[in-house]
Each structure stands twice: as C-alpha cells, then as structure tokens.
Structure 1
Amino acid sequence: MNPLDFIEQHKEELLTTYQELHCLAEPSWQEKKTSAYIAQKLQTAGFSVKRFNDHYGIIAEIQGTSGQVVALRADMDALVQEVNGVVRPNHSCGHDAHSTMVLYTALALASIDLKPKYTLRFIFQPAEEKGEGALKMMEDGALDNVSLLFGTHVRPVSELPYRKASPVIIHGSAGTIRGNIKGRQAHAARPNEGINVIEAAALLVQNLKEIDLQTDVPYSIKMTQLTTESEATNVIPETAHFALDVRAKSNEVMSLLDQRTKAAMELAAEQTGAAFTWSMEEFVPAAVKNERAMKMAEKAIEEVLGEENIVPVCISQGAEDFHFYTAKNPGLAATMIGLGCGLTPGLHHPEMKFNLDALIYGTKILTQTLLTVLQET
C-alpha cells in the first residue's frame, strides 16, 4: 500500500486521534497522558519506543541500512491560559495537530515494507512553549547522527491561506528579560531621602526607546511587566520587578539588541543610583533557511497540493524552539514546513480553530517529504 493511500484510508481514525489529543491538553513538562497515548499508538504499530525518566519526550524509529538519520519532530505541550474565565491547559498553538500529523506519518511509513537507506526518526518533544524542550531532547540524543530534520506548524490565515503550504517558516528570535530594581525606601513627602524604583523603571523605558541599531532587520524591545512590593501609596517603594519582551528577526541582530539592552539598564542605574539585576529567560533563536531541506519540502508540497499552492516563504512574527536544533548544530539541514489551514482568529487565541481537513493533507506532505528524502541520490 502507498503510504499516502494509508493516510486516506485512515483519515477518520486520524481525526479521532487529533480530538483525543486535543482533549488531553497538558502543559510543558507535564505531558504524561499525551506521551503515553502517542507511545501506545506507536507500539501497537510495531515501533520500539524510547522514553525517558525525567521528561515525557519520545523517540521512535524505522531502521535504515546506513548510519545516517532523517528526523521529523512534533511538539506535544499545551498553553496554560484563561478560557471563558477558567485558567487551564489549552491547545491553542496547534501542538496536538503537529503530534497527530507526525504520528500518522510514522504509522503510514510503517505500514509498507520499507527498507530505507536512512533511518527515519520521529521525535515527540515536550516543553516547546517554555523554549526548553528542544534543548532537552538534544541532550538525550534526539539528534544523534541526524543530517536532515523537518518540522511543521499550522499557520494563521494572515500568514498562509487554507490549502497553501510553505517549505520554510521564518520565525524570529525572542526572549524575556526578567529583572529586579533595588532602590531606597522613603516617605513620599521626602523623596530626596529615597531612590525611587518606579522612576528608575521609567528611565529604563525611555532608554530602551532610544535604542537604534540602524538595521533593516526588524526588532523590538518593550517592558511588559512592572510590579512593586509596597501596597502603601505614600511610600516610595524599595524594590520593583520587571519583564522585557525582546525580539529580532535574525540571531545577529538579537545579539546586538541584547548588548544594547544591558547598556540601557546600566545607564538607568547610573542615572538614579538604583541597582539593576537581570537575566534572559525563555530565549529561542531565529530560523536560518536551508536550501537543501527547503527544496525537499517544496517538492513534497507540490506532489500533494500542486505547484500553485506553494508559498515560497512564510514570515512569522512569532518564535519557535525548533530553531535550537540548528543553532546548536550549524551543519544540520533543517526546515519547518508552514501549513495553511484556515486558522482563525490566531495562534494562542483561546478560541483558536482551523479546518481539520488540513490534518489529512498536512500528514501527506510530511510523509511525502520523507519519501522525497529517501529517493534522493
């Protein structure tokens, strides 16, 4: 049986799997039920499944005749967000869709008598939303001997229309700087006796606005949180806590922006006498285009959807920890396939929805991508 025919014949089962994963919805590092569900499906199909003691990631393989490995990665975790007044895990980023498509790609390829030259590795990764899961999977050998890596992500209609697909998503780099400001408490009637941390934060905001990197590459930095410990309105507070959202469309610009941000904080400290401490958290690098991987993905999209439905590049305002795989392994050929699926009103919106037919043609694209790799001479 042709693997694409397998997908067509099992599409109702595939859609049921998606619905069941959607209902499981577990946050980063807590994907216990999701992981068990996927592992059971793989084991039933005859896969030997590797699992881990300290996280819920999964690796499954179809063994090849050479030592080289081609990998396909899915993320499993859900966001924790307010939905109709209740804070709970919610699959508003599409990771349930990604897991479903990668799972059924594995099942489709396992359904035929396949003796590939490359080992085909299927990676189910935890904790993408925290920007930590890819690093952990690499630490545990997910990229050992991998020369080609593919991923996929459902895209909002503003980026890709329904039944369109792109061989590459250009995500930017992003990070959160969390910091503390230490001043000196004083009565509000005697401000000269204190060091006002709110004024120090205000100067930091102004310093950040004056950053000019003189580049055409888009970037941004803005304060998104500011809190103090004091509840009194007539006291200059001693301590403040802040968060900065930092973004750039290239890793080089992100590095420069990080340097200038640190300089802005040091200047605010000098201007006010307050002490600043900070650290970068939830950092993810920007995407780097790889022509070899893109060419294979593009050929697969053409086979499944037709040449007229290829969008050469998908530009995203978001970020993805998939790009740690290439940032930490510069020689790796990798790309993330963008899947147009009629997604509205947007990723991370609590009421995000998309056309479930995209799961069928998305799985076919991933399957055809791996078949394309195996046909490579």
Structure 2
Amino acid sequence: MDPISFIEQQREQIFHLFNELHQLAEPSWHEEKTSNYIKEKLMDAGLTVQTFKDHYGLVAEFKGEKSEVIALRADMDALVQEVDGIVRANHSCGHDAHSTMVLFAALALAKSQLQLKHTVRFIFQPAEEKAEGALKMIEEGALRNVKFLGGVHLRPSFEVPYQMASPVIIHGSTASIKGIIKGVQAHAARPEEGNNPLEAAAILVQAIRQIRLKDPHPYSIKITELYGGEASNLIPESAKFTFDLRAETNETMEKLITKAEKTIQKIAELTETNIHVSVEEYSPAAIKNQAAITLAEKAVASILGEGNLQPICQSPGAEDFHFYTLKNPNLSATMIGLGCGLQPGLHHPKMTFQKEALIYGTKILAKLLVEADQKQW
C-alpha cells in the first residue's frame, strides 16, 4: 500500500493519536510521557529508535540503500501559560500537531514498505520554546549524514489560509538582552548618598529607542521588562531589564546586538553604574534553500493542488528549526507552513485549528520524503 492511501485509511487513528498527545502537554525539557508515547509507536512499527541520557529527544530511522539521510523534524514541548486562571503546560503552538504528523508520516512509510534509496530519519526534538532543543539535537549527532531536512508548522489563518500550504516559512531572528543595573542604595530623603539604578534605567530605555542601523532590512528593539524597588521611601540597589530584539536577517541581528551592547556600556559610564548584560533566547532567521523549497512545492501541489500552494509564508515569529541550517550551511532544509484555520493565533491560550489539516499535513510530509528520496544529494 502506498503511504498516501494508508494515511487516508487511518484518519481516525491520526485524530486519536493527536488527542492523546494533546492531553500529555509537557513543558520544555520535561517531555517524558510524550517522548515515551512516540517511542513506543515507532518501535512497534519496526523503526530503530535512539534515546538520550540527559533529555527526552529521540531519533528514529529505517535504513535505505544509501547511508545518506533524508529527515523530518518535529518539536514536542508545550508552552507554560495561564489558561482560565490556572498556570499549566498548554499546546497552543501546535507542537502536538507537528509530532502527530511527523510520527504518522513515519508509520505510513514503514507500513508501505517502499524501497527507498536513502536512510530515512525522524527527529523528535525537546525544548523548542526555549530555543535550545535544536542545538541539543545537533550536539547529539541527529544531523549525521543528513542531506535534506523537512519540518512543518501550523500557521494562523491570516498567514496561510485553511487547506493551503507554503513550501517555506521565513521567520526572522529574535533575541533578548537581559541585564541588571547596579547602583547604590540610599534613603529617599538623602538621594545624594545613593546612585539610583531606576534613573539609569530610564535613560537607558530612551537611549535604546534612539538606535538606528544603516541596514535595509527591518528590525526592532524595545523594552519588555523592567523591575526595581521594594519600598516607596528607598532608592534601590539594583534594577532588572529585558529588551526584545527582532531582525529580518541574521546579519542585521548581529549589528543590532552589537549596537545595543555599545549603547548599554555608554549609559553605564554616563550614569556611573555597573550594568551586567547577557544575550539570551536567541533564534536565528530562516535561510532559504531553493532545492528544498522546490521539493516542498512539489509535495504540496501533489496533495493540495497547484491552486492551494502559497509561494511563501512570512512570519514575524521565531523557530529554533533554523539552527539546523545556521550550524550546517550545506544542509538543504525547509519548514512547510500549513494552513489549518488556526484561530485566534499561535500562543493564544484558546488556540484552535481544523483537525482535517492533520490528514493533509501528514500526506504532504510523506510525499516530501518520497520526493527527497528521488533526488541525488
């Protein structure tokens, strides 16, 4: 049986599998039940599964005629957010859907017993929400011999309409600059005896707002967190801040971080405070690969028709999938943007989507691997 027909016949099983993964919902680095569930399904289908000692990521594969590898990647973790007044792990970014589609694409290909030329690998990654999981899987050797890597992400309706798909998502780069301003504590009645870090923070915020780059690509930097003070009559010793940075390209992000760090240093000197900063939560921008995009176009058009192919999905968000290409420049990779009627938006605690997208999304991924197998990498 060919994999597409198998997927169509297993519709109810796909929905059931998704519902079970949706209920598991575990935060980054704690995906134990999710990982075990996926591992059991893969092993039952005859795939070789590799697990790791210090995290719950896993790699599954079946051998082809060649040692060269074509692969799919899924993320497994859920967000921790407040839902109806309760803070809990919640699948509002669609990782449960991504895992469902990649897992069932693996089961469909295994069931079909197609004689594939390449070894086929399935990477189930932890901690995407912390932008750390892809780097860990790279460190573990998940990309060894991989020539092609595909991924998928649910898209909001305003980016990709229902029953349409894009062969590439162009995410920008994101980062946070977190810092602590150290001043000198004093009583508010004797401010001359102290050095107010909140005043330094106010100057810093205005200075950051004035940053301009000689760069044609869009970027932004803005204050998103500022904490300091414990009493109305006391100048505090310290203040904490976070700046959110976004840029269309990795090169623009590098310039933005450098400019911000220089600005912070100048304000520290001007205000005679010590400002300790770190760059955190960095995710790189997408790197377009035409060979991979062309394969994804064929897969989408084959399943949904040419008229339902959206050439590109431009997203202001971020994805640690792009670490795979940033750290491996010769890798052909793309992430498919799947239209699914998603409302009201990703990361919204009440996010919903049309479950039918799981069926055609799984078909697209299976077809993508079949197409990739025909190519000489």
TM-score normalised by structure 2 residue count: 0.98
What's the counterpart of residue 210 of structure 2? 210
What's the counterpart of residue 335 of structure 1? 334
1:115 Cα deviation from its structure 2 partner: 2.3
Residues 198-255 of structure 1 show CA distances to partners (whole Å, capped at 9, x for unaligned) of 1111111111111111323111111111112x42111111111111111111000000
What's the counterpart of residue 135 of structure 2? 135
Q: 1:241 & 1:215 partners in 2: Cα distance? A: 30
Indicate conservation of the 8 Å contact 2:25/2:89, yes or no: yes
Q: 2:240 & 2:75 partners in 1: Cα distance? A: 32
Say yes or no: does 1:313 pair with 2:295: no
1:191 Cα deviation from its structure 2 partner: 2.2
1:375 Cα deviation from its structure 2 partner: 2.3
Q: 2:233 & 2:285 partners in 1: Cα distance? A: 45
Q: 1:63 & 1:236 partners in 2: Cα distance? A: 66
What's the counterpart of residue 324 of structure 1? 323
Indicate conservation of the 8 Å contact 1:63/1:115, yes or no: no
What's the counterpart of residue 10 of structure 1? 10
Q: 1:108 & 1:342 partners in 2: Cα distance? A: 25
Say yes or no: does 1:287 pair with 2:297: no
SS at match of 2:296: helix
1:250 maps to amino acid: T
Q: 2:265 & 2:322 partners in 1: Cα distance? A: 30
Say yes or no: does 1:357 pair with 2:359: no
Q: 1:267 & 1:111 partners in 2: Cα distance? A: 62
1:62 Cα deviation from its structure 2 partner: 1.7
The 5 A counterparts of 1:103-142 are 103-142=103-142
Say yes or no: does 1:194 pair with 2:201: no
SS at match of 1:74: strand
- RMSD in angstroms over aligned alpha carbons? 0.9
Q: 1:257 & 1:158 partners in 2: Cα distance? A: 29
What's the counterpart of residue 221 of structure 1? 221
1:94 maps to amino acid: G
Say yes or no: does 1:148 pair with 2:145: no
1:103 Cα deviation from its structure 2 partner: 0.3
What's the counterpart of residue 77 of structure 2? 77
SS at match of 1:361: helix
Structure 2 gaps of 5+ residues are none
Greater CA deviation, 183-192 or 67-76?
183-192
What's the counterpart of residue 47 of structure 1? 47
Indicate conservation of the 8 Å contact 1:50/1:59, yes or no: yes
SS at match of 1:245: strand
SS at match of 2:294: helix
What's the counterpart of residue 373 of structure 1? 372
Structure 1 gaps of 5+ residues are none
1:290 maps to amino acid: N
SS at match of 2:112: coil
Greater CA deviation, 181-190 or 256-265?
181-190
1:51 maps to amino acid: T
Say yes or no: does 1:238 pair with 2:237: yes
Q: 2:231 & 2:91 partners in 1: Cα distance? A: 40
Moved over 4 A (4+): none
Q: 1:199 & 1:314 partners in 2: Cα distance? A: 42
Q: 2:253 & 2:176 partners in 1: Cα distance? A: 12
Residues 48-76 of structure 1 show CA distances to partners (whole Å, capped at 9, x for unaligned) of 21111111111111211112101100000
Say yes or no: does 1:347 pair with 2:346: yes
Q: 2:322 & 2:48 partners in 1: Cα distance? A: 27
Q: 1:76 & 1:174 partners in 2: Cα distance? A: 21
Indicate conservation of the 8 Å contact 2:285/2:322, yes or no: yes
Greater CA deviation, 190-199 or 65-74?
190-199
Indicate conservation of the 8 Å contact 2:4/2:108, yes or no: yes
Residues 274-307 of structure 1 show CA distances to partners (whole Å, capped at 9, x for unaligned) of 1100111111110010000000000000000011
Residues 240-272 of structure 1 show CA distances to partners (whole Å, capped at 9, x for unaligned) of 111111111100000000000001101211221
Greater CA deviation, 95-104 or 115-124?
115-124
1:114 Cα deviation from its structure 2 partner: 2.1
TM-score normalised by structure 1 residue count: 0.98
What's the counterpart of residue 276 of structure 1? 275
1:113 Cα deviation from its structure 2 partner: 2.2
Q: 2:251 & 2:132 partners in 1: Cα distance? A: 21
SS at match of 1:93: coil
Q: 1:24 & 1:371 partners in 2: Cα distance? A: 31
The percent of aligned pairs where both chains have the same amino acid is 60
The 5 A counterparts of 1:66-105 are 66-105=66-105
Q: 1:373 & 1:178 partners in 2: Cα distance? A: 42
Indicate conservation of the 8 Å contact 1:78/1:90, yes or no: yes
Indicate conservation of the 8 Å contact 2:176/2:245, yes or no: yes
Q: How many residues align?
A: 376
Indicate conservation of the 8 Å contact 1:167/1:338, yes or no: yes
SS at match of 1:282: strand
SS at match of 2:53: coil
Indicate conservation of the 8 Å contact 1:62/1:121, yes or no: yes
